[in-house]
Amino acid sequence: MSRDLERSDSRIGFMGGTFDPIHHGHLVAAESVYENFTLDRIVFVPAGSPAHKPDSRVTSARHRLNMTRLASESNPHFEVSSVEVDREGPSYTIDTMKHFRRLYGPEADLYFITGVDAVVQIPEWKNAGGLFEICKFIAATRPGYPTENFFRFRDQLPPKQRRAMKVVAVPALAISSSDLRRRVCRGSSIKYLVPEPAEDYIYAHGLYDCSEQDEAVRRPIAF
């Protein structure tokens, strides 16, 4: 039986992201949330077809799902759901969280976790009001993204939504997926930035070579 179908857990965090590729920043964020919010488990949910990136080049969902599985397999309280990859059309979080609410029942505490910079966009997401009825949110901090924007955003929310919006301070790891893609394209090392099985997968499948990257990525960084 898929662990997705275990319904006995009552406090579950859903880590949503494009994960192109997943990296240690995401994993450290997930572990921090697990610990700080005393959750029963964390479910990584790679976006199948990211709703907000219709025109950008995103690596195939299967590759991103496989890398996420490889990266999280050593942690017994991490698992990965393919619900968004298996679903047709844009990956709207409202559809995903409705699915998990049905699965875990009305009493479970469901938390949607994502980066502090992604969280401030939530009011623009499909049926954002409905989403607040289904789950709470946890914003993971990251270096380079001042939390003032997040707190300003949270202060403007109606009281019920404000209470549903949590933040977790993640140990500073200045890793980003876009930087990793640039590094692979330029032949720079990604060792210790990405879990080794995912790193091996990237090279074995020739992901993020320069043919997939746009001109801005191929250009060397000017210091």
Work out whether 13 is an interface residue with ligand NAP (CB under 6 A): no
- Tokens (6 digits) for 184: 């692979």
Question: C-beta of 6: minimal distance to ligand NAP in Å?
Answer: 22
Instruction: Pick out residues in 42-71 that bind ligand NAP (CB under 6 A).
Output: 47, 50-52
Of 91, 95, 94, the C-alpha closest to 51 is: 91
Task: Identify how many contiguous H helices and E strands the chain contains and give both numbers.
Answer: 11, 6
**Beta carbon nearer to ligand NAP, 15 or 202:** 15
Work out whether 93 is an interface residue with ligand NAP (CB under 6 A): yes
**Beta carbon nearer to ligand NAP, 115 or 195:** 115
Work out whether 202 is an interface residue with ligand NAP (CB under 6 A): no
CA 80 → CA 22, 60, 66, 148, distances in Å? 12, 16, 9, 31
Q: Which stretch binds ligand NAP (CB under 6 A): 73-81, 90-98, 150-158, 205-213?
A: 90-98
Among 39, 61, 135, 140, binds ligand NAP (CB under 6 A): 140
Distance between CA atoms of 179 and 117, rounded to whole angstroms?
16
Instruction: Mark 147-186 with x for binding to ligand NAP (rule: CB under 6 A) and - for no binding.
Output: -----------------------------xxx--------
Question: C-beta of 140: minimal distance to ligand NAP in Å?
Answer: 4
Work out whether 125 is an interface residue with ligand NAP (CB under 6 A): yes
> What's the CA angle centered on 148, arms 145 and 153, to 5 degrees?
105
Work out whether 26 is an interface residue with ligand NAP (CB under 6 A): yes
Judging by DSSP bridges, how do beta strands 136-140 and 78-80 pair with one another? unpaired
Query: Coil, strand or helix: which one is 73?
Result: coil
Helices (H), the chain: 24-36, 61-72, 83-86, 93-104, 116-119, 128-134, 147-155, 159-163, 177-186, 196-204, 215-218
Binding site for ligand NAP (CB under 6 A): 15-18, 25-26, 29, 47, 50-52, 91-93, 113-115, 117-118, 125-126, 140, 142, 176-178
